[in-house]
Amino acid sequence: MACNQLLRKDIVCGMTSAILMALGAGVANAGVAVSAKAAEQNANRPAPYAALTLGVAALTAAGVALIVRGVWADWRLWAFGIVLGSLYVCAIGGTLWANKMWPPSLVWSTANMAFLLPILFSAVLLREPLRWIDLATVLGVGVMLAGLATPAAGLETAARSRAARWGALGTVFLTNGLLMFGFKLQSVLAPGASTSCLSAIIYGCGSVFAWGWYLGQRHTEVTHAELRWGATAGVGTGMAILALLHAMHLPAAVAFPLIQGTSLVGGVALCALIFHELWSWRKTGALALGIIAMLLAGIR
């Protein structure tokens, strides 16, 4: 009896710890949203900002991979790392661009809601069945983004045309969605491959591409603001990786809504508070719809 009680206590403590880590991963990701908006306000250039962000994240992920003894020689992981690393650079650049024209809450929500793309791509390319819950999720996300889609007033923008605004937002949605689908493809096309070092490879390749982009331009030295906010975003990403490893002990239907939901709500709330974004009941309702959509995705 005593042994059974101790076992149940260990299970409860393990689940509680995993839940706290899932929440921590979401909070760390929310911090990345703040750093991206601050980077845009401090005139950070996409190339050095992305290089620093991904470089710091790569160092953290590499340390984790060395501890858990990841298999670095698997060519499949390097192939995915090169492709997804380049997508990360595009996603970071798109985020800085979109933050010039839209409120940070909408940009961050768009990045999080991009989980729709892997669902749709999996149905078309991998022949996975679509369910009624998927259609409800798509509808909820669409209404949410429409509720948040108010152009940011008073921001300096290179182009305030409708095409430029929606092009920037579309870039955020597409690049983040393709990143998520890339992880899905990795599990399908490279079954059994050790993924403990995949994050380090992705971030490392992305950092190399971003430095190459920076060195290929007419550039000046990296500014203190770029160092500060790039490193901050990298630390947030690295902390999210560390927390995510332990959070994955939870069932996917629990871990996914917790991490993404905390990331969404935390990022939106922090951006609204720190950058004095005007709020309304319309935006509150839109955010609630986004959380419901994530819960539906988790149930799926």
- So where are the chain's domains? 26-299
The proportion of the chain whose per-residue pLDDT surpasses 70, expressed as a percent, equals 69
pLDDT tens figures, 117-153:
877 787 778 777 766 666 666 665 665 665 666 655 4
Task: Return the top range by mean pLDDT from 215-219, 250-254, 283-287.
Answer: 215-219
- 10 pLDDT more than 80: no
In whole angstroms, give the CA distance from residue 279 to residue 270. Answer: 12
3-state helix, strand, coil in the chain (%, to 5): 80, 0, 20
Using a 10 angstrom Cβ sphere, with 0-12 exposed, 13-18 middle and 19 or more buried, the burial of residue 72 is middle
CB atoms within 10 A of CB 278: 10
> How sure is the predictor about 12, in pLDDT bands with cuts at 50, 70 and 90?
very low
Contact (Cβ atoms closer than 8 angstroms) between residue 174 and residue 118: no
The tokens for 150 are 């108010």
- 70 pLDDT more than 70: no
Mean pLDDT of 28-52: 88
Mean pLDDT of 247-274: 70
Give the model's pLDDT for residue 142.
60
- 195 pLDDT more than 60: yes
In whole angstroms, give the CA distance from residue 72 to residue 61. Answer: 13
